[in-house]
Amino acid sequence: MSGDPMSAAADSNGLDSPGAQWLQERGIEASAFTRSMGTRLRFFAPGRVEIELDLRPDLTQHHGQAHGAVLGYLADTVSAWAAGDVVTAEYKLNFLTAARGDLLWARGEMLRAGRRQVIVRADVYAQQGDQDIHVATSLATVSPVGAVEAVSSPEKRVTDAAQ
């Protein structure tokens, strides 16, 4: 994607970086659903992103823990944001334990980036007091629709021949 601010993010970390600003504008401000979830960007580095949201009562199921769809949302969103301008092709989510607490957060890290697909791992945590409980993990395949090179580090790139 020509002129994509993510392309300036390859050497820039932090919430004030061009890549983080691009995610704020495109991922949060331009998405009514993401805004309604209360999603916040908490960490940005090329190929690695963390997001969070408050675990509100309307995001829980009948046992009082986070609904599985909320954990899936976090894993999917952070996977896509770690990879750049992509759409999700598929992901597998493993629930590890009940997600209870005041805050949910997720970390997405790009494992391998190619021209046609990017593999991303996501881990979801529930914050209970001063403790982070690992509640879910996922592995996702996302497909670039824009500039993946903008956020991938050279050691994670693969050649066309390897795809």
Which residues, 6 or more positions from 64, have their beta carbon under 8 angstroms from its beta carbon? 100
Phi, psi of 72 (to 5 degrees): -65, -40
DSSP summary character for residue 67: P
Report the distance separating Cα 60 and Cα 5, nearest Å: 36
- 59-87 per-position pLDDT tens digit: 999 999 999 999 999 999 999 999 999 99
Distance of CA 66 to the CA centre of its chain: 18
Q: Give the chain's domains with CATH numbers.
A: 5-162 (3.10.129.10)
Where are the extended beta strands (E) located within 29-85?
A: 40-45, 48-54
Query: What is residue 124's predicted lDDT score, i.e. its pLDDT?
Result: 98
Query: What is residue 147's predicted lDDT score, i.e. its pLDDT?
Result: 55
* Res. 159 pLDDT band, cuts 50 70 90: very low
- The pTM of the full predicted model, rounded to 2 decimals, is 0.84
Amino acid at 21: Q
- 15-68 per-position pLDDT tens digit: 999 989 989 898 899 999 999 999 999 999 999 999 999 999 999 999 999 999
Please determine, for residue 163, whether its predicted confidence score (pLDDT) is greater than 70: no
DSSP summary character for residue 149: T
Query: What is residue 157's predicted lDDT score, i.e. its pLDDT?
Result: 42
Query: What is residue 12's predicted lDDT score, i.e. its pLDDT?
Result: 77
Q: Are strands 103-113 and 48-54 parallel, antiparallel or unpaired?
A: antiparallel
Residue bearing the bigger pLDDT, 142 or 146: 142
- 83-135 per-position pLDDT tens digit: 999 999 999 999 999 999 999 999 999 999 998 999 999 999 999 999 999 99
Please count the residues of the chain. 163
Query: What is residue 158's predicted lDDT score, i.e. its pLDDT?
Result: 42
Query: What is residue 40's predicted lDDT score, i.e. its pLDDT?
Result: 97
Residue showing tokens 């996302």? 142
Please determine, for residue 4, whether its predicted confidence score (pLDDT) is greater than 60: no
Name the token pair of 86: 């992509």
Q: What percent of the chain has pLDDT over 90?
A: 72
C-alpha distances in angstroms, 133 versus 21, 57, 71, 79? 29, 19, 13, 19
